[in-house]
Amino acid sequence: MNYVIQFVKNQTTQNGVFIPIDAHEYAGTELIILGLNHNDKLSVGKSTLLRQFCMKDIKKKISKPYFIRLSSKNDMDFIDNLARIIEDNHISRIRLKNGKLTTTIHESTRDVLKLINDIEYIIKNVS
């Protein structure tokens, strides 16, 4: 597996006609893992709309506005651990598709090794 860890920070400004408009800042960590050899799909993110389409059991396990979509059937222990990993690491988005896992975190990551171990747990137990 190939790991790519990037810190992304940018700022956009808007011109106000009469009143100045504050700048929008974006800062986050992106973790990309390439070379995975399974075709399972996993999608985790923040969306109140997509949360409405989650199973009731999954909604109980993870806080609002998160949603979880899985292509394979997993046990509730995995869902419990996945919810804990998402909340402990402040993960905003996870997407596993076509052997590529992308993770976005919008808060500071203090323990990168723990994050990588948690992501490896997800990869091993998704199928």
Helical packing angle, 76-89 and 112-125, nearest 10° = 160
pLDDT for 45:
93
Count other Cβ atoms within 10 Å, centred on residue 119: 19
| 26/113 Cα distance (integer angstroms) | 24
Give me the pLDDT at residue 23, please: 72
What secondary structure letter does DSSP report for 23? P
User: Per-domain residue ranges for the chain?
Assistant: 2-125
Query: Which pLDDT does position 20 carry in this prediction?
Result: 64
The pLDDT assigned to 1 comes to 79
Quote the tokens at residue 42: 């996993």
Taking the C-alpha atoms of residue 33 and residue 2, their distance in angstroms, rounded to an integer, is: 6
Q: pLDDT at position 19, please?
A: 66
What is the β-pairing status of strands 2-12 and 24-34? antiparallel
Which residues in the chain come in under a pLDDT of 70?
16-20, 73-74, 127
Average pLDDT score over the chain: 84
Query: What DSSP state is assigned to residue 16?
Result: -
Q: How far apart are CA 123 and CA 24, in angstroms?
A: 33
Token pair in block for residue 127: 């199928």
